[in-house]
Structure 1
Amino acid sequence: MLPFRKLLTLVLLVSQAWAIPSGAAERYDFKEYKVKEALLRPPVGWTLVGEAPPDHTISLRVGLPQSNFEALEQHLFEVSDPDHSRYGQHLSKEEVEELVAPPPESLKMVNAWLKAHGFKEIELDRSPAKDWVSIKVPVKIAEQMLRTKYHIWKHEESGDKLVRTTSYSLPEELHDHIEVIQPTTMFSRFNAMKSTIHWPEAEKKASITYKPPTTASNARLAAVDPSCSSEITISCLHQLYNTGGYVQKATEKNSIGITGYLEQFANFADLKLFYEEQVPEAVNSTFEVVTVSGGLNPQAPEEAGFEANLDVQFAFGLTHPVPGTYWTTGGRPPFKPDLTTPENTNEPYADWVDFVLKQKTVPYVISTSYGEPEQTVPEAYARRVCNSFAQLSARGVSLIFASGDGGVGDGWDDPERHRCRTNDGRNITRFLPTFPTTCPYVTSVGGTTGVPEISVFFSGGGFSDYWPRPAYQDRHIKEWFKTIPTDLYKDLYNPAGRGFPDVAAQGTNFRVYVGGVAFPIGGTSASSPAFAAVVALLNDARLAKGRRPLGFLNPVLYAKGYAGLNDITGGHPNPGCGTSGFNSTVGWDPITGLGTPDFVKLKEILT
C-alpha cells in the first residue's frame, strides 16, 4: 500500500489533470425544472408582507458537491485519534482543498448554467476549492434562475424583515451538481443571532433548587481564593484550572483567535484597563484585528462591545504573550426597501469560515461565543457550513464554540415562547439544540459556576437533530443514558443525535471592562474563551516539545483526555421548553459534558 502522502499526491495529480478550465463551460438547453428545496409553510413567527422589489440585490451562494468529503472526514479522525499512527499529522491547506473540490462534471454543468444566465467568470466569487460560488444578482434575475418568487417577510416579535422564498427549483439535470443555494428558504433572524452573553441579574429569576456536588473538593480547590465564588478574574481561572505557575516556552510559534459578529467591537483602552488590574505584565501588548465582509472595530468608548471585550480580555489575558487575532465580521442588516447594493444576506459563520479557509496560516485555537437554534438554519446549508469547519479542523485548528444560554430550549425563563416549537410545519414542542455548537467537528463548551464548580442553570445542552452521534462519544453517552428513565422527555429530543456540550468552564460573574467600567457578566460566552485559553497553553507545551498543536479535540478528549477533566456531578439542571431539563451527573452529561479542565493533568496526558 502506498504511504498516505504519496497516495494523496497521486489523487491530487489526477484531479488536477481532469480540472475544467473556468472558461470552458459548455452550452446546455436547461428546460425541465424540478423543486430543489421547499418549506411546507413559513416558520412560526413570520408573516408575508409583500413582493420583493425586483431590483433589490442579493448575494446567492451556490454549494457544489464536495467529491471526497468522506475521505477528508476519515483523515480528520485519523489525525485526531491519539491511538492512530497518524495522530497530529494534520493536512495542509492545499491537501484539504483538493479533497473537497467538486467533481469536474459538476463544475462544467454549473458553469454552463451560470453562463446561460449571462454571468461571466469575472462576476463569480469562488472558494479556493471551487466548492462554493457566489454571485450578486437582483431579485428579478434570481427568480428567473430559480423559478421562484421572492417576498418580504416580517418577524412578528422583532419587526425585522427579510427577503426570502419558501421554495426554489433547478433544472433537473443540475440537482446532482448543486447541493444548496441560499439565501432562499433560510429564515434565521439576522439580529436575533445573539451572543450567548448572560447577565447576572437574570439569575434572580431562576427558581431552581440548588444541588450540591456529590464529590468533595480537593486540597487545590480548597485553596482557591474565596472571592472566586462571587467574581471571576484571570487569577481565579489560573487557580481553578491549574494553569498558575506555568511558564510558556513556545509563544512565538503559538496563536489564538476570537471571532466577533453583530457589530461587537473589541476596545483597546478597555483591554489596557483590564490588563492593568489583572495582567500587569501584558499592559503594553495588543492583538491583531482582521476585518471580514466589511466588519469594523471603532474605538469610541460607547461602541465597546460586552461580548467582544469579554472574549478578548479573558482569552488573551489567560494566554499572554501568545499572539492573538480578533476577526470582526460584518453584520447582517434586515431588509431595507431602498437598498440595491448587496446585503450580507447569509448566515455569517459561512462568511467567516470562507475567509479563514483562504488564509495560509490560521490560529491554532479559535473561540466563538455565538449561536442560534439549529432549526433556523436549513439542514443542507448547516451541513455545508459544518463541513467547512471540518476543513479547518483537519488543518490542525481547535474550534471551540459556546453551547448556548437557553438550557435545553431557547429561553429558560419563558416556557411558552414559540421558539420551543418546531418550524417544520408540525408546530410541536421540541428542545432546541444550538447551531453551530452541534457540529460534530467542533468542541462545544457548557457552563459552570461556583467553587467547587457546579453546573449553571442556563448552560445549553442536548442532542442535535441534524447530526447523528459520532463514534468518538458513543461510549460515554451510552453510559449517561443508563442513568435516566428510558421515557424521560420522550419525543422532545433526538437520543441518537450528536450530544453537546463536550466540556465546560466557568460561566458566571466574569469581571470585564466595557467603556471604562468593570461589569460582572458571563454565560457560555465566557466559558468558551476560557476553555480555548487552556487549549492554547496545552499547545504551547506540545510546540515546546516539537510536536504539532492539538487540532480537533473531541476524539482525544473522549478517548483519554477526560481523565484530565474535573467531572461536574451536581448543580442546577438546564430547564427550558416547559421542562426542568437535564442534570449534571457522574461522567458525561448534556449540561457540562465531560467536565472542566485541569491543565496539569491534561498536559501530562496530551503532551
Structure 2
Amino acid sequence: MFTLALLVASIVVVVSPLPSASVYKLKERIPNPRDWVQLHRAPVDYILPLRIALPQIKFGELERHLYEVSNPGHQRYGAHLSKEEVERLIAPHPESLAVINKWLTSHGLDEKDLQRSPAQDWVTIHVPIGLAEEMLDTKFHTWKHVVHGDVVVGTTSYSLPEDVHAHVELVQPTTYFARPRALRTTLRFTEDTASAAVNKDTSAGRITIPGSEVSVDASCNTTITVACLKELYNAVGFGASSHNGNILGITGYLEQFANFEDLQLFYADQVPAAVNTSFTVSLINGGGNNQSSTEAGAEADLDVQFGLGLTFPTPGIFWSTGGRPPFTPDAITTGDTNEPYLDWLSFVLRQDNVPQTISTSYADDEQTVPESYARRVCAEFAQLGARGSTLLFGSGDGGVGDGNPDPATQNCFANDGTNRTRFIPLFPASCPFITSVGGTVNIPEVAVSFSGGGFSNYFQRPSYQEVAISEYLDSLPDGTYEGLFNRSGRGIPDVAAQADRFRIFLSGRPVSIGGTSAATPTFAGIISLLNSARLSKGLPSLGFINPLLYSDHANTTFNDITVGNNPGCGTKGFNATAGWDPVTGFGTPNFGKLLRIVAP
C-alpha cells in the first residue's frame, strides 16, 4: 500500500496506470468476531510475527500416501514416510518462492529477516504493524473479549498484490480471534488432603461388563484410577517397554505446567512402580516450566499423570508452548499471538523423530477459527500422521454446543453475520486427519452428557467415514435438527473413553476432575500401549488410526455405547446408539481385542 506522500507523487508524475504489483486483491474477510469489541488502532511500531503460508502443491499426493500407509488393507500399510519425504511433498513451487522473495524484498526485507520452515512452505517475518499494514493493505486494531477481557491485535480483512495472491495460502496472525482453551468440565477437591492411597470397598465386589470377559472393581463407579482404566479396557497385565523407542507426547498450552511433585504423589497413590521416574519437558515459543505448587495446571497434571500412569514405563515428553493474550501496547517487542497449534507444529515438524502417540486436550469453537487457518493446520497434522504419529484430540465439553459446559450460557449462533442457530463443533476435533475422543461415565459405560459431538462445517466427510455416518444419518427420523448441523460434514468423535471422576494430584492435594480432557490421554495411553507392542515385535507404529478404526475388523473391538446423549443449544443433542454415533463414536477400546489385530 502506498503512503500518502508516494500516492501524491505518483499522481503528479505518473500518468500511466499503476504497476500491477500495486493492485491489491482481497485475500480474506471475516464478519466482526462475536464477543470481541474493537478498541483502537494498534501502535504502528508494535512488532508482529507474521507467518506466510505458501501453497503445498503436492498435498494431494501426501494425502494419498497418508491413506495408503494408514489402511490395514493396503500393501503399503505401516510404510510411513520420512521427514525428508514429507517435506518434498509439501514444498512450494519454485515460482511461488521467487514471487514471495521479490515481494518481501520490495518491502525492505532480505534473507536475514526471514525464518523458513524446512520445506520452505512457511515464511515468518517480524515486522512493525505499520509495515504489516502496508504489505497487507489493511488496518490492525486492538480488540477486547467482552467476557474474558483478553486483548489482541487483529483485523477483519487483508489483501495481497495481484501478482502475489495465488502464491500465498494465508497470512496469520490477522483474522484469528479464537481462544483455545483446556477441555475441562469439572474440578472438585476431595475431602482428604493427604496422599493416602485410594480406598477400595472390597465388600462392594466387582462389576461384570455385559458381553465381555471384563470385570471392574465397583469402586471405579465413584473414582477413576489407572487400575480402573486398565481393568475396564482390558489392559491388565500388559507390560510396556521402556527401551523399544516408543514415546508418548503430551501438549501443554496457556501456561499449564505439569508439576513433578504432583506426579510423584500420583505415582505413590496409583502406580507405585513408577515412583522416582519422570518425563522430559520441551519449551516452545517462550513456554515455561514453573514448578511452584501454586502454578501447577490441572489440565497439564491430568494429562501427564494418567497418560504416563497408563503407559509406564514408556518415556514421555511434555511440550510447554507459549503464546496467548493479552496484548501489551507499550511493549515494542514481538507480539504475543494466540495461535498455539502453529507454534507447536512449527517446532515438532522440524524434529527428526516425533513421538508415536500425541495427546492434546485443547480446542476452540470451529467457527471462531478462520477456515483457511483450520485447513492449513489440519494439513500440518496430516504430515505427522504420514510420519507415523497418532494424534488424539478431545471432542469438547459442551455436547453439541459451543464448548461451554453450562448449557444456560452456550452461544449457539452462526458466526457468519446471519445469527442463525447452529450446533457448534470444535476444532481441531473436526480435522479429518486426527482422532477425536468423546466421553463416557459410569460402569457399565454410558455417554457422558457433556461429550462433544456433531459434524464439521469446514471439513467434508472423509471417505473412511462414509459407510458409518451414512448408516447413522439414515437411522435418524426425517427432519431431525434440520438446519442445525451439516449432514455432509466430518463426524465427531471417532471413539470415546471415561471422562469424569478422575483422581489426580494438584498442588499437593488429591482432586476429582473430568472432561474429554480426561478421555483423551486415556485413549492415547491405550494407543501408546498398542504401539509398544508393535515396536517390540519389529512392526511400525500405528500412525493415523482412523482408517483402521472404521474398518470392519477393527470397529468390532470397541465397547459400543448405546445409552446417553449430548445436550446443548437448547436441544437434547444426539443419542448414543448401536454402531457409530456423534456422541461416543464407535465407543471405548478393548485393548486385548485390539492387540490381537494390530500386534498378532
Correspondence for 2:416 = 424
Q: 1:197 aligns with which of 184, 205, 213?
A: 184
Deviations 1:15-57 (A, max 9, x none): xxxxxxxxxxxxx962211111112x30222222111111111
* Contact 1:155/1:161, CA 8 A, preserved across alignment: yes
Correspondence for 1:11 = none
* Contact 1:412/1:575, CA 8 A, preserved across alignment: no
- Which whole-Å CA distance do the structure 2 matches of 1:333 and 1:108 have between them? 34
Is 2:25 aligned against 1:34? yes
Is 2:581 aligned against 1:594? no
- Which whole-Å CA distance do the structure 2 matches of 1:416 and 1:450 have between them? 25
Correspondence for 1:176 = 166
Is 2:496 aligned against 1:504? yes
Q: Secondary structure at the match of 2:210?
A: coil
* Contact 2:401/2:423, CA 8 A, preserved across alignment: yes
- Which whole-Å CA distance do the structure 2 matches of 1:252 and 1:582 have between them? 42
Amino acid at match of 1:604: R
- Which whole-Å CA distance do the structure 2 matches of 1:267 and 1:511 have between them? 15
Correspondence for 2:557 = 564
Amino acid at match of 1:84: H
Correspondence for 2:293 = 301
- Which whole-Å CA distance do the structure 1 matches of 2:498 and 2:462 have between them? 26
Q: 1:379 aligns with which of 366, 371, 390?
A: 371
Amino acid at match of 2:156: T
Cα shift at 1:172:
0.7
Is 2:122 aligned against 1:129? no
* Contact 1:462/1:500, CA 8 A, preserved across alignment: yes
* Contact 1:333/1:343, CA 8 A, preserved across alignment: no
Correspondence for 1:536 = 528
* Contact 2:20/2:162, CA 8 A, preserved across alignment: no
Correspondence for 1:272 = 264
The correspondence of residues 80-159 of structure 1 with structure 2, limited to 5 A, is 80-159=70-149
The correspondence of residues 286-435 of structure 1 with structure 2, limited to 5 A, is 286-411=278-403, 414-415=406-407, 417=409, 419-435=411-427
Scaled by the length of structure 1, the TM-score of the pair is: 0.90
- Which whole-Å CA distance do the structure 1 matches of 2:500 and 2:513 have between them? 6
* Contact 1:306/1:514, CA 8 A, preserved across alignment: yes
Q: Secondary structure at the match of 2:118?
A: coil
- Which whole-Å CA distance do the structure 2 matches of 1:219 and 1:393 have between them? 32
Among all aligned residue pairs of Structure 1 and Structure 2, give the percentage whose two residues are the same amino acid.
56
- Which whole-Å CA distance do the structure 2 matches of 1:601 and 1:199 have between them? 32
Distance of aligned partners of 1:166 and 1:240 in 2 relative to their CA distance in 1, 3 Å threshold: same
Is 2:466 aligned against 1:479? no
Distance of aligned partners of 1:230 and 1:349 in 2 relative to their CA distance in 1, 3 Å threshold: same
Q: Secondary structure at the match of 2:331?
A: coil
The correspondence of residues 187-266 of structure 1 with structure 2, limited to 5 A, is 187-189=177-179, 193-199=180-186, 217-218=210-211, 220-221=213-214, 223-249=215-241, 251-266=243-258
Deviations 1:298-321 (A, max 9, x none): 111111110000000000011011
* Contact 2:439/2:584, CA 8 A, preserved across alignment: yes
Amino acid at match of 2:317: T
* Contact 2:493/2:583, CA 8 A, preserved across alignment: yes
Q: Secondary structure at the match of 1:420?
A: coil
Cα shift at 1:158:
1.9
Correspondence for 2:197 = none
- Which whole-Å CA distance do the structure 2 matches of 1:296 and 1:243 have between them? 34
Cα shift at 1:182:
1.0
Q: Secondary structure at the match of 2:362?
A: coil
* Contact 1:332/1:343, CA 8 A, preserved across alignment: no
- Which whole-Å CA distance do the structure 1 matches of 2:443 and 2:78 have between them? 35
Structure 2 gap segments, 5+ residues each: 1-18, 190-207
- Which whole-Å CA distance do the structure 1 matches of 2:164 and 2:373 have between them? 17
Amino acid at match of 2:24: Y
- Which whole-Å CA distance do the structure 1 matches of 2:76 and 2:258 have between them? 39
Structure 1 gap segments, 5+ residues each: 1-27, 203-214
- Which whole-Å CA distance do the structure 2 matches of 1:174 and 1:585 have between them? 50
Distance of aligned partners of 1:250 and 1:412 in 2 relative to their CA distance in 1, 3 Å threshold: closer
Amino acid at match of 1:36: K
- Which whole-Å CA distance do the structure 2 matches of 1:551 and 1:348 have between them? 23
The correspondence of residues 480-495 of structure 1 with structure 2, limited to 5 A, is 480-495=472-487
Cα shift at 1:200:
5.8
The count of corresponding residues between Structure 1 and Structure 2 is: 562
Amino acid at match of 2:547: P
